[in-house]
Amino acid sequence: MRWKTETYTGWGRALTATGEIARPERASALAALMGSTPSPAIGKCRSYGDACLNDNGRVVDMTRMDRVLSFDDKTGLIEVEAGLQVGEISRLYAPQGWLPAVMPGTGFATVGGCIANDVHGKNHHGLGSFGQHVTQIVLNQNGKEVTITPKNAGLWKATIGGLGQTGIIVRATLQMIACKGDVMMVTERRVDGWDEFLSVLDDSKATYTVGWIDATAKGDALGRGILEEGETGAGLLPKQKASKKVPFNAPHFALSKPIVKAFNNAYYRRVPDSGRTSVKPINDFFFPLDRIHDWNKLYGKRGFHQFQCVVPIDRADQLRAMLEMIANSGLASPLAVLKRMGPGRAGYLSFPMEGYTLAVDFPNRSAAQLLISKLEEMTEEAGGRLYLAKDALARPNRMKAMYPEWKDWLKVVKKADPEGALETDMTRRLELRSA
Amino acid sequence: MTDTWIILGATSSMARAFARKLAEEGATLYLAGRDMADLEASASDCKARGAADAHAVLFDARKPDTFAPILDQMGGEEGMLNAAVFVGSMPEQSEIDENPSLIDGTVIDSFTGPARFLQMLAPMMEERGGGTVVGVGSVAGDRGRVGNYVYGAAKAGFHTYLSGLRNRLTRSGGHVVTVKPGFVDTAMTWGIEGMFLVASPDQVAADLLKAVRKKRNVIYTPFFWRYIMLIIRSVPEPIFKKLSI
């Protein structure tokens, strides 16, 4: 297997790594590779920080291992190679009435990445996290294939959401859910402010619910935004226009305060006061930004950070205080999301907890880093937690304190990968592999 | 499309991408190569993507006795028979310099093996009065260069063979597309220095399918390689022989 030396980044592009990458196309090549030089796996590098980086080390790019190995149209069980992208599964099977139970915010995420970060989607309040719908995983541990199911309690829970530290995820079996077809009925309505936002999120009866929030609005307008609710349906839609691509790094003023404010205002008013219901292709609803390839370049060459936290329901006051601080800072970008989360989670290091989750993007500047550090402190104080798939800045002790089952995870990981061959920049930065 | 396609060298990423596109159109597929476990996985993938059927079959360019059983099996299919050839091998020129016997294998893998298979398939296609052969050659076959002239020579031979086969099959309603890819992002080119304007296997597969539909004779993929090669071919030999491009 040939290794290619490259400099690569997570989706936020604020952190980079330089190292050797192998990209096996066949199971036999992967097995040989893991037997001789076990290395952590990466997929489409859609995690924002350093979960997918291994500076000065080696990684295995899994994106060419992307086949559907079996599909049962009676039960919706599908076995796939770990490099298959989740948007490809919905493209293939939604027209036949099956959908991955959990769809993350980008269809480019690979199944392996979805498992290793135990991702969630717009239906977390109903169906929980991605890992809760995985029925079997085949791991490669130091060249040896090991098949695990939820019965392997410890290893299972350390693998799901476990940042790839128990072995490379080679294949997985997913239980899909039935859907009516590949179009989406989407209802959008304006929400005037914070309190109303919480109550509409609490009351939403929709299968898929997400809130876009204007993180620049202050005073009475604080917390205003748009509530989006979706249901799958069957129907016909006109042919899609081709997706667009951001060709180069945008200049730093592209997301400056006046531009973001003007954009957010227009975005808010785009939805009529009375609300509206429209029909969209399914992948457009789940992955709205995927139609603009490389949109992360809009943040310029310094990149950006996404702050995402979840706080318990009874600490919504803290989340409001955080949003206020963000709005007053004037540092936020248009990408800000508020969601109600259910309790569903499948691994020791899974992010979800019953509560509200807020995600906001910030261009990578020192002022934003300071703000994020303050937001992290407030999250910890409220008994909430940060999302490892988004994190690039947190300190070890804070992160470990937010994940009470971290020690259980560590115990399993030490056994699964005693040499530490699968460590990444993230596990080193957060000292996750040392007690 | 209820056509049957045999894909020779189906474990390559270009072939995989092409087979997937055919699968989504409902073709019956024979995926031929040596790594049976990998071919079985690809066959499942093609069936899951809509292929009428997909079979993994053992094909080794260097073992001609593997050819007849495949052709027998394909003979049982209804409709037109089509073939796409992705096989080939490219040892480093320096390895060949040390061990000239490697030339034989390179020529069999890249030219005579698949040509012999196509020669056996041609009468079956003629009998049915149609079908398409897609032969993947290489821009390396357009002019011998110091870096990989053995591989280039084998591919040049294959190009000429395809040209003749086109001349023959066209009389019975069949067609042959000669494909000359530039650099493609595959396991073969992964990590090799000096790659530029690299195309994805998916782009190449889309070009191939379009060429089949439009009955193109010779295509370069991506298209701009036609102009790059036009320039390279038109450099006068007295100058060219001193270059190392």
> Which residues of chain A are within 8 Å of residue B48 when distances are taken between CB atoms?
68-71, 78, 92
B45–A67 C-beta distance less than 8 A: yes
A67–B44 C-beta distance less than 8 A: yes
> Which residues of chain B are within 8 Å of residue A26 when distances are taken between CB atoms?
11, 35, 38
Residue of chain B minimizing CA distance to A5: B191
B191–A4 C-beta distance less than 8 A: yes
Q: Quick one: pLDDT band at residue A85, thresholds 50, 70, 90? A: very high
Tens-place pLDDT, residues A287-296: 988 888 888 9
- The residue with tokens 């993180």 is A215
Residues of chain B whose C-beta is under 8 A from some C-beta in A? 11, 13, 16, 35, 37-38, 41-42, 44-45, 48-49, 186-187, 190-192
Give the pLDDT confidence score for residue A241 in this predicted structure.
74
> Which residues of chain B are within 8 Å of residue A4 when distances are taken between CB atoms?
190-191
A67–B191 C-beta distance less than 8 A: no
Domain ranges of chain A: 183-395
pLDDT at A67 over 50: yes
Give the pLDDT confidence score for residue B239 in this predicted structure.
93
Beta A177-178 vs B175-181: how paired, if at all?
A: unpaired
Min Cα separation B132/chain A (Å): 26
Mean pLDDT for the stretch of residues A254-259: 85
**A23, A78, A81 ranked by CB distance to B190: nearest:** A23
Residue of chain A minimizing CA distance to B41: A69
pLDDT at A350 over 60: yes
- CA–CA gap between residue A90 and residue A102 (Å, rounded): 11
Mean pLDDT for the stretch of residues A243-272: 87
**B35, B45, B191 ranked by CB distance to A68: nearest:** B45
A81–B190 C-beta distance less than 8 A: no
> Which residues of chain A are within 8 Å of residue B190 when distances are taken between CB atoms?
2, 4, 23
Q: Quick one: pLDDT band at residue A81, thresholds 50, 70, 90? A: very high
B44–A70 C-beta distance less than 8 A: yes
**A3, A27, A29 ranked by CB distance to B191: nearest:** A3
A70–B37 C-beta distance less than 8 A: no
- CA–CA gap between residue A120 and residue A127 (Å, rounded): 9
Q: What is the 3-state secondary structure (H, E, C) of chain A?
A: CCCEEEEEECCCCCCEEEEEEECCCCHHHHHHHHHHCCCCEECCCCCCCCCCCCCCCEEEECCCCCCEEEECCCCCEEEEECCCEHHHHHHHHHHHCEECCCCCCCCCCEHHHHHHCCCCCCCHHHHCCHHHHEEEEEEEECCEEEEECCCCHHHHHHHCCCCCCCCEEEEEEEECEECCCCEEEEEEEEECCHHHHHHHHHHCCCCEEEEEECCCCCHHHCCCEEEEEEEEECCCCCCCCCCEECCCCCCHHHHCHHHHHHHHHHHHHHCCCCCEEEEEEHHHHHCHHHHEECHHHHHCCCCEEEEEEEEEHHHHHHHHHHHHHHHHHCCCCCCEEEEEECCCCCCCCCCCCCEEEEEEEEECCHHHHHHHHHHHHHHHHCCCEECCCCCCCCCHHHHHHHCCCHHHHHHHHHHHCCCCCCCCHHHHHCCCCCC
The ipTM estimated for the assembled molecules is: 0.90
Mean pLDDT for the stretch of residues B91-112: 95
Give the pLDDT confidence score for residue B245 in this predicted structure.
78
Give the pLDDT confidence score for residue A242 in this predicted structure.
77
Tens-place pLDDT, residues A377-393: 999 999 999 999 999 99
Mean pLDDT for the stretch of residues A45-51: 97
Q: Quick one: pLDDT band at residue A255, thresholds 50, 70, 90? A: confident
Q: Quick one: pLDDT band at residue B1, thresholds 50, 70, 90? A: very low
> B4-240 sits in which CATH class?
alpha beta
- Given 3.10.20.600, 3.40.462.10, 3.90.79.10, 1.20.1090.10, which CATH number is that of A183-395? 3.40.462.10
Please tell me the least confidently modeled range out of A53-67, A212-226, A227-241, B30-44. Answer: A227-241
Give the pLDDT confidence score for residue A114 in this predicted structure.
98
pLDDT, mean over chain B: 95
Tens-place pLDDT, residues A98-135: 999 999 999 999 999 999 999 999 999 999 999 999 99
